[in-house]
């Protein structure tokens, strides 16, 4: 039987957290109970900093529960892009930050029953060996030597792959529920609005000295221009029984390609992606590939994820804007949320404590936005604002498009999604359709 839910959601024992009632005061308020928020709360608690984390539904209920859960600092062929875009120093800092995040998982995971496994990670290309060679050259120049592999055990014709050895994979929700069990978390606590650093919920107010927004897409529109700096991308996964043990983690350098990894006796095949609100291959593309290449396979689970994409392939981590010294955020993991979230948690927990972090400059949300993707985002927003439609997104009024694969109304401007009845599924929209 095919289950429309992630493997992780179906194979974890959850525990509930209370709903926050009445008014509270705290030093740090974290809004959003995904991986970035939970890890930030963990580090604050480790350092004795008073905090509260609130989640409008249940923790790990969004993108965190729909990842493919690869712990790697090989984020596609990113280092050549960074070398050219922001220079060798910041490219090296990005590598060092994500290596530090990887080491934190390496320290924490062996003490948790979360199916942590060391695996080599491969980024392959089906038609452009030059991209692989450029990546190797960039990595060599910033001091990290990797392998160029010729043959892969995949039913895909490739021209090679860049291999980062001894990376890792795990069960993300088993890890996070273990981390979260002793944290100060409140579920079903919906922040309706922010007044400075005071959060207004349905049952009271939370007054905080500092606020960290970890809601996937930053929901406060009046600061930071995230509606220009971010767009969202959907990707799809099917979990196959009787398919193949690929003995590693693999992803195509092309956004329209496939990814592979195993969990127990299942092969997780990913792909079919597209910008939210656009057309794409979705699960149909994955099923066609499986039918052609894994003749005896049986589909056990299928699910989809939504990822925030930044302008320059680097997440936004730090002050929400130049003018909000006590308001922080993180977003734009560009599909690499495992180490990205750990980097964010380490950096943000330092920042709210006034501790200088060497990596702040790389991830600063107020860095230059003059990138070609900015104009693409602006064009898409303008086009959809001018598109006639009865259903409009309550975020900024863009036209909604029906998604027949997932039976949802999707916004191509900023990625908000709603079910058939109008209930909000994905932010930045902070409420249902009217």
Domain boundaries, the chain: 7-67+174-228+312-363, 71-87+116-169+230-309, 372-426
Query: With contact defined as beta carbons under 8 Å apart, do 219 and 37 qualify?
Result: no
**What CATH architecture applies to the domain 372-426?**
3-layer Sandwich (2.102)
Contacts of residue 158, Cβ cutoff 8 Å, sequence gap at least 6: 124, 125, 126, 152
CATH superfamily of 7-67+174-228+312-363: FAD/NAD(P)-binding domain (3.50.50.60)
Query: With contact defined as beta carbons under 8 Å apart, do 318 and 351 qualify?
Result: yes
d(CA 81, CA 124): 16
- Nearest by Cα to 97 from 252, 309, 318, 259: 318
Residue 1 has what pLDDT? 54
- Nearest by Cα to 65 from 8, 2, 3, 4: 8
d(CA 102, CA 395): 35
**By three-state DSSP, how is residue 108 classified?**
helix
For residues 137-154, one letter each, b for 16 or more C-beta atoms within 10 angstroms of the residue's C-beta and e for the rest, the string is: ebbeebebebeebeebeb
How does pLDDT run across 192-250, given as a tens digit for each residue? 999 999 999 999 999 999 999 999 999 999 999 999 999 999 999 999 999 999 999 99
Query: With contact defined as beta carbons under 8 Å apart, do 350 and 44 qualify?
Result: no
Residue 430 has what pLDDT? 86
d(CA 338, CA 70): 7
Contacts of residue 266, Cβ cutoff 8 Å, sequence gap at least 6: 7, 239, 240, 241, 243, 300, 301
How does pLDDT run across 107-128, given as a tens digit for each residue? 999 999 999 999 999 999 999 9
DSSP H or E run through 289: helix 282-293
DSSP H or E run through 266: strand 266-275
DSSP string, 206-257: EEEEEEEE-SSS---TTSTTHHHH-EEEEEEEEEEESS---SSEEEESSTTS
**By three-state DSSP, how is residue 58 classified?**
coil
DSSP H or E run through 164: strand 161-169
Alpha helices in 121-241 (DSSP H): 129-141, 172-180, 226-229
Give the chain's residues under pLDDT 70.
Answer: 1
Query: With contact defined as beta carbons under 8 Å apart, do 171 and 239 qualify?
Result: no
Of 3.30.230.10, 3.30.70.141, 3.30.9.10, 3.30.465.10, the CATH number of 71-87+116-169+230-309 is 3.30.9.10
């Amino acid at each position: 039987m095919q289950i429309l839910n992630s493997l992780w959601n179906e194979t974890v024992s959850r525990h509930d957290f209370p709903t926050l009632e009445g008014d509270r005061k705290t030093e740090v308020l974290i809004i959003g109970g995904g991986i970035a928020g939970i890890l930030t709360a963990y580090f604050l608690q480790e350092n004795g900093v008073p905090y509260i984390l609130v989640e409008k539904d249940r923790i790990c209920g969004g993108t965190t529960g729909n990842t493919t859960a690869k712990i790697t600092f090989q984020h596609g062929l990113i280092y050549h892009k960074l070398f050219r875009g922001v220079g060798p120093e910041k490219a090296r800092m990005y590598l060092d930050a994500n290596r530090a995040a990887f080491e934190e998982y390496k320290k924490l995971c062996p003490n948790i029953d979360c199916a942590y496994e060391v695996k080599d990670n491969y980024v392959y290309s089906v038609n452009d060996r030059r991209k692989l060679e450029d990546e190797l050259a960039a990595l060599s120049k910033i001091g990290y030597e990797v392998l160029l592999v010729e043959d892969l055990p995949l039913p895909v014709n490739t021209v090679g792959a860049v291999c980062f050895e001894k990376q890792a994979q795990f069960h993300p929700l088993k890890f996070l529920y273990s981390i979260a069990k002793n944290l100060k978390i409140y579920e079903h606590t919906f922040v309706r609005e922010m007044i400075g650093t005071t959060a207004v919920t349905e049952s009271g107010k939370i007054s905080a000295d500092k606020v960290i927004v970890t809601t996937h897409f930053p929901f406060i529109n009046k600061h930071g221009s995230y509606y220009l700096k971010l767009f969202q991308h959907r990707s799809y996964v099917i979990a196959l029984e009787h398919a193949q043990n690929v003995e590693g983690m693999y992803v195509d350098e092309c956004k329209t390609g496939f990814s592979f990894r195993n969990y127990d006796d299942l092969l997780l095949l990913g792909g079919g992606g597209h910008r939210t609100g656009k057309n794409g291959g979705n699960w149909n593309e994955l099923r066609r590939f499986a039918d052609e290449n894994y003749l005896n396979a049986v589909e056990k689970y299928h699910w989809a994820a939504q990822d925030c994409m930044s302008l320059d392939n680097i997440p936004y981590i730090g002050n929400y804007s130049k003018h909000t010294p006590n308001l922080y955020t993180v977003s734009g993991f560009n599909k690499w949320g495992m180490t990205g979230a750990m980097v964010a948690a380490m950096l943000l927990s330092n920042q709210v404590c006034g501790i200088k972090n060497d990596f702040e400059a790389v991830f600063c949300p107020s860095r230059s936005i003059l990138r070609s993707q900015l104009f693409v985002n602006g064009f898409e927003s303008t086009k959809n604002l001018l598109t006639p439609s009865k259903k409009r997104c309550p975020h900024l009024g863009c036209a909604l498009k029906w998604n027949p694969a997932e039976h949802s109304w999707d916004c191509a401007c900023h990625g908000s999604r709603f079910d058939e009845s109008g209930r909000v599924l994905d932010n930045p929209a902070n409420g249902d359709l009217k």
